[in-house]
Structure 1
């Protein structure tokens, strides 16, 4: 198990739904002895409703605006592990803010892994219409070129959650901007 670096600013986990941001994030935060915050949970608290309801009642654009406000607030919170929603890093303003204020870690997973992982639980508005595999494939094609701007990339397909945490910690040790 690698030595644990001392972090002074947020570690922002990015990636598609099913990449492991929340599960890996909780374990990473525990290992780093910092708080874990899931931006989707914070959005739900701020809006007083579920992500699905926000999408259904107000649309994706309003959800993204609320997400940006919540992330702006969270990114001022100092050392933490922050799991962001899959679309957050796609927003130019949010991406700039994350790249300036946090160390971004892309949890990269392949299509087969994402299809299998997202099939385990509901609550994913973007997968409600049509074939989830085709939707995820389109999201990969659209978003992976943008996710590549992350500070660190961890390929998660063949990793356990703890294995992903170990690789993130190892990558953080090699940085002086954490």
Structure 2
């Protein structure tokens, strides 16, 4: 308390002196240097600085708490944003799997290997922003793909069947024949040619 009283007294003295100085300046007179008034000004400035330092010390913990709360809130927002981004990725992945399954199931009716159709089509084109799958467009694109690549189609069940190979037919099925090496065959050829020439 004594410091505050001294500060108030110094402020009162200074105000009186400043008002006198203002009056003298207005009159156009310069006032002589007053050591006592200078010391009073210095004391006033020092006491104000001390008061500001005290207030700063009082407010520093509050500022630190406020910053910690802002950081906690910001990190909570960042965590929420990361969770939202992960959920969007999972939703996009699920949608891509659904489109792939739909294309595969529709291609199974006409394609020998439905994976051929899945690999040839751009699957991202078949789902809209709401996640709805355009099955009519898939069917149309599958029909066009079969027209361009008929060899990918499922063979007709009612058409003529290719005969299965019969391993007993042909030279490999004839048990009487023995495998020969080229030297033996060449020797037989030469003997036949020599016998003809006689």
**Alignment TM-score > 0.5, same fold:** no
**What is the TM-score with the length of structure 2 in the denominator?**
0.21
Greater RCO (CA < 8 Å, at least 6 residues apart)? 1
Larger helix fraction of residues: 2
Of the two, which has the highest radius of gyration? 2
**What is the TM-score with the length of structure 1 in the denominator?**
0.23
Larger strand fraction of residues: 1
